[in-house]
Structure 1
Amino acid sequence: MRIIKLDAIDSTNTYLKKLSVAGHAEDGLALVAKLQTQGRGQMGTIWEAQEAKNLTFSVFKDVSFLEVSQHFYISMAVSLAVFEALNSLGLKDVKVKWPNDILSDNKKIAGILIENVIKMNVISGSVIGIGLNVNQTDFSALPSASSLLLLSGQVHNLDEVLDVILKQIEIHFNYLKQEAFSFLKASYESQLFRKDKPSTFTNAEGSLFSGYIVGISNHGQLLIKVEDEIIKRFDFKEVALLY
């Protein structure tokens, strides 16, 4: 696996997407930056991280063996890879908040942004952006965030943490190649934050409702059991978990 390290860049995902479109990104290529000036999260949000204290990187994976309809399995594989990596580092109570935020002790420590390159209705490649709070301690502007240092009490070597995550990504993409979809889905659902617990949500219109997360569909929709034991499906932009 080839790793490119940069001091600063606007967005590792944006740069790696350009490389992939130009045909210069081989499977497993990782791009790591000490500082992202325009780091991006889900739905156009900004990912902010202090320079040289956290991991901000992107990985290109060849997923041409997947159908477009199977795209959410990429998200499952990456979420589980980060989950397993953090577990191996001794972090406690690690969970996946649908679709692919990673929490520990109910605090967000990692975000994942997946951008697929689709050609002729085939996913030719996937650019996987990961932001992980490692040694940062100031989250005054982000009260729901935390870091490995705050949660474990230990300073972590960024390269060592990166290596653990990249190895887990390779392991979980091998599951994809082996078509272990049922295993990935069951593993992902077993680690879902607030699964089978009474929770409050807001829908696309801003209305509040209560329900229980019971799992996800094969296409990645969140399954929520509401009143009268009815199970409703929600896409990412249609619902937000308020805890």
Structure 2
Amino acid sequence: MLIIKLNAIDSTNSYLRKLSAVEIVEDYTTVIAKKQTQGRGQMGTKWSSQTSKNLTFSVFKDVSEFCLEHPFYISVVTSLALLKTLQFFSIPRLSVKWPNDILSEDKKICGILIENVIKQNNINASIIGIGLNVNQTEFKNLPKASSLKTMTGKVFDLDEIVNKILENLEHYFLLLKKGHHDVLKKDYETYLFRKNKPSTFKDEEGMVFSGFIKGVSGSSGNLQVLLEDDIIKEFDLKTITLLY
């Protein structure tokens, strides 16, 4: 696989998207930047990262031969690849805060941004952006952020982590290609942050309510929440925020 290393770029996702628009990009082509000037997170948020201390990179994944009826499984596969990688490096108490923030001891250490390339109404490829806090230890005005070094006291080799992530991505995408959706969903749900615990949410109108996270929908990826009246309701990313 091709790995492109850049000193600085606006966004590794944008770089790969532009590249794929003008030439054929090899599967698992990876773009790593020491510094991103316009790193992006979910729902248009910014991803800020200290230069050379963390991992900010994007992976081009060809999914043209996949039967991708439910695109949420790209997020599931990516989350599992990251969780297994972090387990390998002995990062404690890992969980995934729906849909795909990776937490360690309830602190965010990794964010994922997936942008799909659509051709003829089908998903032809995915550009998987990953921001992983590795050796940074100060997070100004971000009380819920942490890093691998903060969690373990160790300094990590960035290349070693990237290689392990790519290895695990290949493993889980192979499972997806073979149609093992149930296995992937079950594995993902075992890591769900605050699953079966009383939790507080806010809806799109600002109303706060309580419920229990039960799982995710296999078709839409919506969060399934058990409400006070014993009804399980599904919510998509735009309509609900987990407040803890």
Q: What is the CA–CA distance in structure 1 between the aligned matches of 2:211 and 2:106, rounded to whole Å? A: 19
Q: Does the CA contact (< 8 Å) of 1:29 and 1:59 recur in 2?
A: yes
- Deviation of 1:146 after TM superposition, in Å, equals 0.2
Deviations 1:117-148 (A, max 9, x none): 01111110000000000000111221100000
Question: Please, what TM-score do these two structures have when normalized by structure 1?
Answer: 0.98
1:68 Cα deviation after fit: 5.2
Q: Which amino acid aligns with 2:123?
A: I
- Could you tell me how far 1:26 is from its partner in structure 2? 1.3
C-alpha distance after superposition, 1:208-227 (max 9, x if no partner): 00000000001100000001
1:52-108 deviation per Cα after TM superposition (whole angstroms, max 9, x unaligned):
000000000011133453100000000000011001100010001100000001000
Q: Distance in 2 between matches of 1:23 and 1:214?
A: 43
Q: TM-score, normalised by structure 2?
A: 0.98
| Structure 1 equivalent of residue 215 of structure 2 | 215
8 Å Cα contact 1:212/1:224 also seen in 2: yes
The aligned counterpart of 2:121 is 121
Tell me how far apart the structure 1 counterparts of residues 43 and 67 of structure 2 sit (CA, whole Å).
23
Find the aligned partners of 2:240 and 2:164 in 1 and give their Cα distance.
32
* Offset from partner CA, 1:12-67 (integer Å, 9 cap, x none): 00010111222331111000000000000001100000000000000000111334
Aligned to 2:133: 133
Deviations 1:149-208 (A, max 9, x none): 000110001111111111111111111111110000000111100000000000010100
CA RMSD of aligned residues (A): 0.9
SS of the aligned residue for 1:92 comes to: coil
Residue in 2 aligned with 1:241?
242
Matched AA of 1:238:
T
Is the Cα contact below 8 Å between 1:55 and 1:133 reproduced in 2? yes
Alignment partner, residue 174 of structure 1: 174
List alignment gaps of at least 5 residues for structure 2: none
Following the alignment from structure 1 to structure 2, what is the Cα–Cα distance between the partners of residues 83 and 19?
Answer: 29
Hey, what's the Cα distance between the residues in 1 that align with 2:164 and 2:68? 28
Q: In structure 2, how many angstroms separate the alpha carbons of the residues matched to 1:65 and 1:200?
A: 40
Q: Is residue 41–residue 111 contact of structure 1 (8 Å, CA) maintained in 2?
A: yes
Residue 105 of structure 1 pairs with residue 105 of structure 2: yes
- Paired position in structure 1 for 2:226: 225
4+ residue runs of structure 1 moved beyond 4 angstroms? none
Q: Quote the Cα distance in structure 2 between the aligned partners of 1:141 and 1:235.
A: 28
Cross-structure match for 2:190:
190
Map residues 1-243 of structure 1 onto 2, 5 A cutoff: 1-67=1-67, 69-218=69-218, 219-243=220-244
**For 1:86 and 1:37, how far apart are their aligned partners in 2?**
26
Q: Structure 1 vs Structure 2: percent identity of aligned residues? A: 57
Are the structure 2 counterparts of residues 180 and 146 from structure 1 closer, same or farther at C-alpha, using a change threshold of 3 Å? Answer: same
Determine the C-alpha separation between the residues in 2 that align with 1:17 and 1:197: 39
Q: Which runs of 5+ in 1 are unaligned?
A: none
* Alpha-carbon distance in structure 2 between the residues aligned to 1:184 and 1:203: 28
Residue type of the alignment partner of 2:130 = I
| Aligned residues of 2:196 and 2:214 also touching (Cα < 8 A) | yes
User: Separation in 2 of the partners of 1:195 and 1:65?
Assistant: 33
